[in-house]
Amino acid sequence: MAGRPHLVAVGTGLQFRSHITLETLDVLRAADKVLFAGADVVTARWLAEINPSAEGLPDYLPGRPRRETYELWVELVMGAVRAGRHVCAAAYGHPGVFVHFTGEAVRRARAEGFRAVMLPGISAEACMLCDLLIDPAPTGWQSYSATVFVRRQPRFDTGTPLVLWQVKVIDAPGPPDRIARDGLARLVSVLLEHYPPHHQVALYEASRNPALEHQVQWLPLAALASARFRLSATLLVPPLDQASERP
């Protein structure tokens, strides 16, 4: 794609400053307008230092489905693109992993004749593979949105690590401000059809601070529905043949 893109979607990684790529840093500095979502206060200030045009996208619309907030974000990004600016749309983590507005903005920009690209970033999945010493090559790797997994109940391999994302908001259409316990109970019920109640599973949280370690809470599958965990946790279900092992 020749020429300078009108829109570049980037990820700032999981950890403040240390996960950002040099390519993304160059884009952030050169953009006419930076619009970002999911950044903590420190990261937001840092983005403003890199580029004074940096502006946070609005918070989730209270009492409204998340998709309405995502559509608002897409249109704010596209409004800047249509105004003739070279725009950088930034999301925490990887811009193509569980981030709707970045990919949709790139698709919409291309459909309207603008040059648009997405650059890779460091995702929670990349951190998990390192922190838990998991190599997906020997046995494979399967992952689903927890909501999709509960709704579709797809066929899957219990001999392969299973990763379920966004277990905090299963079938919850609103802002992710609390754990959707009913959805979590349904997830446990589905998993118990394939794994024994004592099967050890892990609630994993990647570190967002270079000075702090990641967090892992191991517990029996049967205890998951009532577990207390932070909203950013991802569920890892190890293979059945590793029932007594921890990755």
pLDDT of residue 75: 97
CATH superfamily of 7-118: Tetrapyrrole methylase, N-terminal domain (3.40.1010.10)
Domain borders along the chain are 7-118, 124-242
pLDDT given for residue 212 in this prediction: 86
**pTM, full prediction:** 0.83
Active-site residue list: 66, 70, 92
CA distance 71 to 245: 43
What was the pLDDT predicted at 175?
59
Q: Quick one: pLDDT band at residue 47, thresholds 50, 70, 90?
A: very high
CA dist., res. 37 & res. 142, Å (int): 27
CB-based contacts of 83: which residues, under 8 Å, 6+ apart? none
The answer to whether residue 135 scores a pLDDT higher than 50 is yes
Query: DSSP strand E in the chain: where?
Result: 7-11, 33-37, 55-56, 87-91, 116-118, 142-145, 162-165, 200-205, 215-220, 234-237
Same fold, 7-118 and 124-242: no
Work out the percent of the chain whose per-residue pLDDT is above 90. 73
Identify the CATH assignment for 124-242 out of 3.40.1190.20, 1.10.10.10, 3.30.2350.10, 3.30.950.10. Answer: 3.30.950.10
User: In which band, very low, low, confident or very high, does the pLDDT at 1 lie, cut at 50, 70 and 90?
Assistant: very low
Could you tell me the two tokens for 12?
A: 């700032």
Q: Which residues contact 106 (CB under 8 A, 6 or more apart)?
A: 7, 9, 116, 117, 118
* DSSP string computed for 119-133: -----HHHHHHHHTT
Whole-number mean pLDDT of the chain?
91
pLDDT tens per residue across span 61-111: 888 888 899 999 999 999 999 999 999 999 999 999 989 999 999 999 999
pLDDT class of 244 with cuts at 50, 70, 90:
very low
**163-177 residue pLDDT tens:** 999 888 887 765 556
Assess contact for 123 and 70: CB atoms under 8 A: no
Q: Which residues pair with 118 in a beta bridge?
A: 9
